Structure 1
Amino acid sequence: MENIDPMDVPGAKVTLPISTAKKPFDRKFIADAKKYWSNMHMQVGGDHAMYYTGHLSEFLPTAVAPASGKVSVLERNLLKSVGETTFVRGDGSTSLPLDEYVNNGKQRLQGIMILQHGKVVYEAYPGMQPEQPHFWASTSKPTVGTLITMLEADGLIDVNKPITTYAKQLAGTEWDKVSLLNGLNMSSALDIAETGEAQMNPASVFQRFLAADFGVPNYNGVIENTVDVLRDAKPLPGEVPGEYARYSSLITKVLVWVIEEATGHSFIDNFNERIWSKIGVRNSFIVPMGSDGSAGAYGLNISLLEDLARFSLIFTPSWKVVSESQVISPQVLKTMQTSGSKEAYLKGDFTEHNWVKASFAKQGMPDRNSRQWDAVWDDGAMFKHGNLFQGLYVDPSRDVTAAYFSTCPVNLDPDILMGYIRQVAMNLQGE
Structure 2
Amino acid sequence: MLKAAIYFLVPILLGSVQVHAQEMPKPAPVQKALDGWSNKEALDFLRNFNVNDLTIGAPAALWYHRYAAQTNKTAILVRRQPIMEMPKATLREIGKITATTELGTMTLDEFLVHPDSYAQGFIVVHKGKIAYETYPGMAELDPHFWASVAKILASMAVDILIDDGRIDENMTLGHYVPEFRGSVWETIKVVNALDMSAGLDVRDDATQFADPDSVTSRLFRAELGEERDGKIEYMLDVLLDAKRVEESGKNYIYSSGVTQSLVFLAEAVSGRPWSDFFDDRVWSKIGAEGPLQVHLSPDGIAIVHGPVSSNLRDLARVGLLYTPSWSAISTERIVSPSALDRIQNSPRTKEFYFGGEAGSGQRFSKRLGDNTIRTAARQWDAVFEDGDFFKSGLNTQGIYVSPDRDLVIAYFSTERSQQIQKYLRPIALSEAFD
**Inter-CA distance 51–197: structure 2 relative to 1 (3 Å threshold):** farther
| Distance apart, 1:164 and its partner CA | 2.1
- Would the aligned equivalents of 1:109 and 1:405 in 2 still touch at CA under 8 Å? yes
- Would the aligned equivalents of 1:149 and 1:336 in 2 still touch at CA under 8 Å? no
Deviations 1:105-156 (A, max 9, x none): 3232211111111111111211111121011111101111111111101101
Q: Are 2:223 and 1:213 equivalent residues in the alignment? A: yes
Q: Are 2:369 and 1:360 equivalent residues in the alignment? A: yes
Correspondence 1:142-181 to 2 at 5 A: 142-181=152-191
Correspondence 1:337-416 to 2 at 5 A: 337-339=344-346, 341-342=348-349, 343-348=351-356, 349-353=359-363, 355-362=364-371, 364=372, 366-409=373-416, 414-416=417-419
SS at match of 2:37: coil
- Would the aligned equivalents of 1:177 and 1:241 in 2 still touch at CA under 8 Å? no
- Would the aligned equivalents of 1:187 and 1:344 in 2 still touch at CA under 8 Å? no
Q: Are 2:288 and 1:281 equivalent residues in the alignment? A: yes
Q: Are 2:50 and 1:38 equivalent residues in the alignment? A: yes
Correspondence 1:10-409 to 2 at 5 A: 13-14=25-26, 16-87=28-99, 95-195=105-205, 205-217=215-227, 223-236=232-245, 239-339=246-346, 341-342=348-349, 343-348=351-356, 349-353=359-363, 355-362=364-371, 364=372, 366-409=373-416
**Inter-CA distance 221–96: structure 2 relative to 1 (3 Å threshold):** farther
SS at match of 2:75: strand
- Would the aligned equivalents of 1:164 and 1:176 in 2 still touch at CA under 8 Å? yes
The worse-fitting range, judged by mean Cα deviation, of 280-289 and 292-301 is 292-301
Looking at structure 1, the residues matched to 322 and 267 of structure 2 have their Cα atoms a distance apart, in angstroms, of 23
| Distance apart, 1:387 and its partner CA | 1.0
The worse-fitting range, judged by mean Cα deviation, of 116-125 and 247-256 is 116-125
How many correspondences in the alignment?
A: 413
The worse-fitting range, judged by mean Cα deviation, of 316-325 and 383-392 is 316-325
Looking at structure 2, the residues matched to 358 and 270 of structure 1 have their Cα atoms a distance apart, in angstroms, of 34
Question: Which amino acid is the alignment partner of residue 188 of structure 1?
Answer: A
| Distance apart, 1:171 and its partner CA | 2.1
Question: Which amino acid is the alignment partner of residue 122 of structure 2?
Answer: I
| Distance apart, 1:96 and its partner CA | 2.0
| Distance apart, 1:331 and its partner CA | 1.4
SS at match of 1:209: helix
**Inter-CA distance 302–97: structure 2 relative to 1 (3 Å threshold):** same
- Would the aligned equivalents of 2:252 and 2:361 in 1 still touch at CA under 8 Å? no
| Distance apart, 1:274 and its partner CA | 1.6
**Inter-CA distance 204–95: structure 2 relative to 1 (3 Å threshold):** farther
Deviations 1:359-392 (A, max 9, x none): 2243x3x111111111111221111011111101
- Partner in structure 1 of residue 14 of structure 2: none
Looking at structure 2, the residues matched to 306 and 361 of structure 1 have their Cα atoms a distance apart, in angstroms, of 26
Question: Which amino acid is the alignment partner of residue 233 of structure 1?
Answer: A
SS at match of 2:185: helix
Looking at structure 1, the residues matched to 64 and 183 of structure 2 have their Cα atoms a distance apart, in angstroms, of 35
Looking at structure 1, the residues matched to 135 and 164 of structure 2 have their Cα atoms a distance apart, in angstroms, of 39
The worse-fitting range, judged by mean Cα deviation, of 190-199 and 51-60 is 190-199
RMSD: 2.5
Looking at structure 1, the residues matched to 106 and 207 of structure 2 have their Cα atoms a distance apart, in angstroms, of 29
- Would the aligned equivalents of 1:182 and 1:241 in 2 still touch at CA under 8 Å? yes
Looking at structure 2, the residues matched to 132 and 94 of structure 1 have their Cα atoms a distance apart, in angstroms, of 30
Looking at structure 1, the residues matched to 365 and 422 of structure 2 have their Cα atoms a distance apart, in angstroms, of 9
TM-score between both structures, scaled by the size of structure 2 = 0.88
The worse-fitting range, judged by mean Cα deviation, of 155-164 and 187-196 is 187-196
Question: Which amino acid is the alignment partner of residue 93 of structure 2?
Answer: S
| Distance apart, 1:15 and its partner CA | 5.1
Query: Structure 1: where are the runs of 5+ without partners?
Result: none
Deviations 1:401-430 (A, max 9, x none): 011111223xxxx31323312211111456
Looking at structure 1, the residues matched to 42 and 300 of structure 2 have their Cα atoms a distance apart, in angstroms, of 27
- Would the aligned equivalents of 2:147 and 2:307 in 1 still touch at CA under 8 Å? yes
Looking at structure 1, the residues matched to 104 and 336 of structure 2 have their Cα atoms a distance apart, in angstroms, of 38
Question: Which amino acid is the alignment partner of residue 261 of structure 1?
Answer: A
- Would the aligned equivalents of 1:358 and 1:415 in 2 still touch at CA under 8 Å? yes
Looking at structure 1, the residues matched to 66 and 213 of structure 2 have their Cα atoms a distance apart, in angstroms, of 27
Looking at structure 2, the residues matched to 203 and 50 of structure 1 have their Cα atoms a distance apart, in angstroms, of 30
Looking at structure 2, the residues matched to 180 and 142 of structure 1 have their Cα atoms a distance apart, in angstroms, of 15
- Would the aligned equivalents of 2:150 and 2:306 in 1 still touch at CA under 8 Å? yes
| Distance apart, 1:358 and its partner CA | 3.2
SS at match of 1:150: helix
Question: Which amino acid is the alignment partner of residue 253 of structure 1?
Answer: Q
Looking at structure 2, the residues matched to 198 and 393 of structure 1 have their Cα atoms a distance apart, in angstroms, of 29
**Inter-CA distance 201–33: structure 2 relative to 1 (3 Å threshold):** farther
**Inter-CA distance 136–29: structure 2 relative to 1 (3 Å threshold):** same
Question: Which amino acid is the alignment partner of residue 368 of structure 1?
Answer: T
| Distance apart, 1:240 and its partner CA | 0.3
SS at match of 1:96: strand
- Would the aligned equivalents of 2:80 and 2:287 in 1 still touch at CA under 8 Å? yes
Question: Which amino acid is the alignment partner of residue 346 of structure 1?
Answer: F
Q: Are 2:434 and 1:427 equivalent residues in the alignment? A: no
- Would the aligned equivalents of 1:282 and 1:307 in 2 still touch at CA under 8 Å? yes
Looking at structure 1, the residues matched to 140 and 129 of structure 2 have their Cα atoms a distance apart, in angstroms, of 16
Query: Structure 2: where are the runs of 5+ without partners?
Result: 9-18
**Inter-CA distance 378–108: structure 2 relative to 1 (3 Å threshold):** same
- Would the aligned equivalents of 1:369 and 1:375 in 2 still touch at CA under 8 Å? yes
Looking at structure 1, the residues matched to 112 and 328 of structure 2 have their Cα atoms a distance apart, in angstroms, of 27
